[in-house]
Amino acid sequence: MPTSVRWEHFPHGADVGVRGFGASPAEAFEQAALAMTAAITDLELVHPHQAVQITRDCPDREILLTDWLNALVYEMATRHMLFGRFRVSIDGPHLTGVAEGERVDPARHHPAVEVKGATLTQLQVARQPDGTWVAQCVVDV
């Protein structure tokens, strides 16, 4: 796999697996967040009109991924927003992230599912043999 950043979904029963790849854990976290939004709507329909800052601390990088994704789920639910652009910085146990998006417009976004939260199922944050990073888990929909 090239070192370019990308995301994908993987099947898991009634839920959805989200997987991000990147040159660093931070890029893989960004891509996992994109995969989560892509489970809800077409990413091309989400415009970066408003930025929301998110910080999390956890010494376990895998739990940090679920904390990051669950913080995004919380922000989407309480702000009635979708996010389509992410910037993440990870310094040891500390994650600082910015999610950019806009208020949900059901007529334009056509949300397919509601993500209820990131789970520990198939949770993995690891460096692959080619040097790229993968960050994945199953999200409850």
pTM score = 0.94
Q: What is the rounded CA–CA span in Å between residue 140 and residue 103?
A: 22
Q: What is the rounded CA–CA span in Å between residue 76 and residue 94?
A: 22
Q: State the average pLDDT over residues 74-90.
A: 98
Asked if the structure places residue 127 within a domain, the reply is: yes
Two tokens at 123?
A: 């949770």
Q: Is the pLDDT of residue 3 over 60?
A: no
Domain of residue 97 covers 6-140
Asked if the structure places residue 1 within a domain, the reply is: no
Asked if the structure places residue 13 within a domain, the reply is: yes
CATH assignment of the domain containing 87: 3.55.10.10
Two tokens at 23?
A: 């040159």
The tens digit of pLDDT for each residue in 69-80 reads 999 999 999 999
Q: State the average pLDDT over residues 92-100.
A: 98
Show Cβ contacts of residue 109 under 8 Å, excluding neighbours closer than 6 positions. 40, 41, 42, 45, 46, 82
Q: What total number of domains does the chain contain?
A: 1
Q: State the average pLDDT over residues 12-24.
A: 93
Q: In this predicted structure, what is the pLDDT of residue 27?
A: 97
